Amino acid sequence: MKTVLQLDLAEAPDRLTLARTHARRGLPARAYAMALDLHHQALRNADELLLAESADCLAECCIMTAQYEPGIRFARSARALWQARGHAVRQAGASSRLAFLLSAIGEQEALAEAEAALTLAEQTGDPVEVIRALDATSVVLNLFKQPDRAIPFSERAVRLSRAEGFPVPWVLINLAEAKVQESLLSSSEGVRAAGIGQALEVTREALALARARGDGWVERLAVNNIAEYSLHVGDAATAEAILPEYDGAAGEPTDRCRIHHLWIRGRTLAAQGRADQALAPLLACRRLATALGELETLTPCHLDIANSYAALGDFERALAAHRAFHESYVRQASEAAQRRARIYALQREAEAWRAAATEAELRAATLAETNEMLSREAERLTRTSLEDPLTGLPNRRRLDVAFLDLLTTKAPFVLAMIDVDHFKQVNDRFSHPVGDAVLRTIADLLAAGARHDDLVVRYGGEEFALLMRDSDLTTAVRACDRLRASVQGYDWSTLCPGLEATISIGVAASNEDGSHDAIVALADFRLYRAKQTGRNRVIAAT
């Protein structure tokens, strides 16, 4: 008679197939639970094949449910297990999943992983894994803000999938996303509209294909994306018309998909001037995203809520939402950095363990070499994590570090938030390379005009921040006005004939509020007022 354990192991392939079917039918949470149970069973019984298969399925489910950190662990495990078994095709698939998951948290290793996956897939000649690796490479490049490089990989994946007779909807989804990102970088309204029009066509094709396959996850994703892309070209009517189709998709929506849907629904209503109706889905989005810690959508949702309250004349709630936006933005950057650090540490720990186990006789030399390598890498990571590559200024992480120091010393300070006026028009009229040159020049002017102990950082986009330690508000306002005048008086024609640039500044002092995040929000609100009241000015009081 078979034991219960033997029955479980005999049933494992069927249960694994069912888990994969659930994932394809828009039930990734259910698929994840089944695959995790199989994974634990494989660990208990030292079944390496089941361990690899279940880790693959778990990594795929983690992509669908945005569980990036556990997904990375499962993908690394699957890749190592397939490599140990000499199964190059499955190793390539695990590497493709790993590349996607790494790119989702901004890990630069993702591109090398995607390239390795593509090389291995092409060596095996397996068309499914070549398509997967091409798509992963495109996703990585697009997430790293290089859509022009991403699109050829996506287009090749689409061509190959059609030639092989099994077009896959997620490849079309990612091609459309890359086209949208490339279009949004264009200074030409016509080019943007044409690119987004192509993306909408491709996404509708993906929607039809997902429905034919019963893939509810991609179906909901496509519906949300069609609405979002339509908003990019000012077509709120199409967005409103497509959104109800979300509820009719197969399977169950993931929390991330539900959050995205609520956000897009709120933005659609706001775009139609229905701010009072927009608040309900936006606030629901905020509640769910807050409960789940989903900062990627929560951060812009706070801003949309602030804009909706402002449109209704409720400026007190608008300011509160605007402050929440800044707090969420800071937290998002901090958590992403912490997540990368944890994954990096786990990876290094595993590598060190394997080296110690297999090369015990060379332990001393290996440890010395590893320590030197880690020291160099730590130095490089510290430098790059605190520096803005475009301007050479410190970035907002460096500002966070400075805030921590001030929290310890209780020293007074003044914070100025600085924004380049009409910067989008500079990009649209003179090109993005000229826009980059403007940012570099303003960075140089700010750094040259600041005191030795002041900290000038690039806060993000066209926004800078100036932290003035041991300063009072009156002195800081005079200093900021000198900086404003130096930017206005600069001969911008040396960069491009007809070019002009000015800055607006909002200033707040540490004695005006109780927390650093509140001071940031207050300075940013005053910057907003400076831009509302004419730009090219300094405002230090509400």
Tokens representing residue 132 in the block: 């997967």
Is 405 exposed, middle or buried, given 0-12, 13-18 or 19+ CB atoms closer than 10 A?
A: exposed
CB 306 within 8 A of CB 325: yes
Q: Which CATH architecture has domain 396-539?
A: 2-Layer Sandwich (3.30)
CB 88 within 8 A of CB 113: no
pLDDT value for 324: 86
Nearest in space to 438 (alpha carbons), one of 417, 459, 458, 423? 423
pLDDT value for 440: 93
pLDDT value for 165: 81
Nearest in space to 457 (alpha carbons), one of 512, 521, 385? 385
pLDDT value for 486: 95
Backbone angles phi, psi at 357, to 5 degrees: -75, -35
Query: CA distances (Å), 373 to each of 138, 377, 432, in order?
Result: 31, 6, 37
Q: How far apart are CA 129 and CA 121, in angstroms?
A: 6
CB 98 within 8 A of CB 140: no
Residue 526 has pLDDT above 80, yes or no: yes
Residue 189 has pLDDT above 90, yes or no: no
Q: 434 or 353, which is more confident?
A: 434
C-alpha neighbours within 13 Å on the C-beta side of residue 279: 13
Q: 8 or 236, which is more confident?
A: 236
Mean pLDDT of 407-435: 88
Q: 174 or 517, which is more confident?
A: 174
Query: CA distances (Å), 326 to each of 6, 302, 312, 379, in order?
Result: 55, 9, 21, 29
pLDDT value for 346: 42
Please identify which of the residues 113, 177, 462, 463 carries the catalytic annotation: 462
Q: How far apart are CA 423 and CA 433, in angstroms?
A: 12
What residue type is 462 in one-letter code? E
* Beta bridge partners of residue 506, listed in sequence order: 417, 539
Instruction: Kindly tell me the number of DSSP H helices and DSSP E strands found in the chain.
Output: 22, 5
Decide: helix, strand or coil at residue 445.
helix
CB 422 within 8 A of CB 484: no
SS (H, E, C) 22-78: HHHCCCHHHHHHHHHHHHHHHHHHCCHHHHHHHHHHHHHHHHHHCCHHHHHHHHHHH
pLDDT value for 366: 52
Residue 1 has pLDDT above 60, yes or no: no
Q: How far apart are CA 459 and CA 444, in angstroms?
A: 15
Decide: helix, strand or coil at residue 387.
strand
Q: Using alpha carbons only, how large is the chain's radius of gyration in Å?
A: 26
pLDDT value for 20: 84
Backbone angles phi, psi at 27, to 5 degrees: -125, 60
At residue 385 the predicted structure's pLDDT band, cuts being 50, 70 and 90, is: low
pLDDT value for 420: 95
Q: How far apart are CA 532 and CA 417, in angstroms?
A: 15
Q: How far apart are CA 112 and CA 102, in angstroms?
A: 10
For 254-385, which CATH superfamily applies?
Tetratricopeptide repeat domain (1.25.40.10)
Nearest in space to 463 (alpha carbons), one of 524, 413, 519? 524
Beta-strand pair 463-469/455-460: antiparallel
Domain ranges of the chain: 254-385, 396-539
C-alpha neighbours within 13 Å on the C-beta side of residue 94: 26
pLDDT value for 373: 61
pLDDT value for 143: 81
Q: How far apart are CA 117 and CA 261, in angstroms?
A: 32
Tell me the percentage of the chain whose pLDDT exceeds 90: 42
Contacts for 473 with CB less than 8 Å, ≥ 6 apart: 414, 507, 509, 540
Q: What is the pLDDT of residues 354-366, one digit of tens each?
A: 454 445 445 545 5
pLDDT value for 339: 45
Task: Provide the CA 514 distance to its chain's centre, in angstroms.
Answer: 30
At residue 514 the predicted structure's pLDDT band, cuts being 50, 70 and 90, is: low
pLDDT value for 68: 82
Q: 406 or 477, which is more confident?
A: 477
Nearest in space to 178 (alpha carbons), one of 158, 149, 207? 149
pLDDT value for 519: 86
Q: How far apart are CA 340 and CA 334, in angstroms?
A: 10
Instruction: Count the Cβ atoms, other than its own, within 10 Å of residue 65.
Output: 20
Decide: helix, strand or coil at residue 344.
helix
Q: How far apart are CA 354 and CA 369, in angstroms?
A: 15
Q: What is the pLDDT of residues 98-145, one digit of tens each?
A: 998 888 877 778 888 988 999 999 999 999 899 999 999 998 888 878
pLDDT value for 175: 92
- The yes-or-no answer on residue 294 being catalytic is no
Mean pLDDT of 498-505: 94
Is 291 exposed, middle or buried, given 0-12, 13-18 or 19+ CB atoms closer than 10 A?
A: exposed
Q: What is the pLDDT of residues 282-336, one digit of tens each?
A: 999 999 888 877 778 888 899 899 999 999 999 899 899 888 888 877 776 665 5
Q: What is the pLDDT of residues 21-51, one digit of tens each?
A: 887 777 888 888 888 888 888 888 888 888 8
Contacts for 391 with CB less than 8 Å, ≥ 6 apart: 439, 440, 443, 458
Nearest in space to 106 (alpha carbons), one of 292, 398, 333? 333
Q: 305 or 185, which is more confident?
A: 305
Mean pLDDT of 409-433: 90
At residue 16 the predicted structure's pLDDT band, cuts being 50, 70 and 90, is: confident
pLDDT value for 329: 75
Backbone angles phi, psi at 471, to 5 degrees: -130, 155
Is 298 exposed, middle or buried, given 0-12, 13-18 or 19+ CB atoms closer than 10 A?
A: buried
Q: 104 or 425, which is more confident?
A: 425
At residue 403 the predicted structure's pLDDT band, cuts being 50, 70 and 90, is: confident
pLDDT value for 380: 53
* Mean pLDDT of the residues in the chain: 84
Tokens representing residue 525 in the block: 């609100």
Residue 262 has pLDDT above 80, yes or no: yes
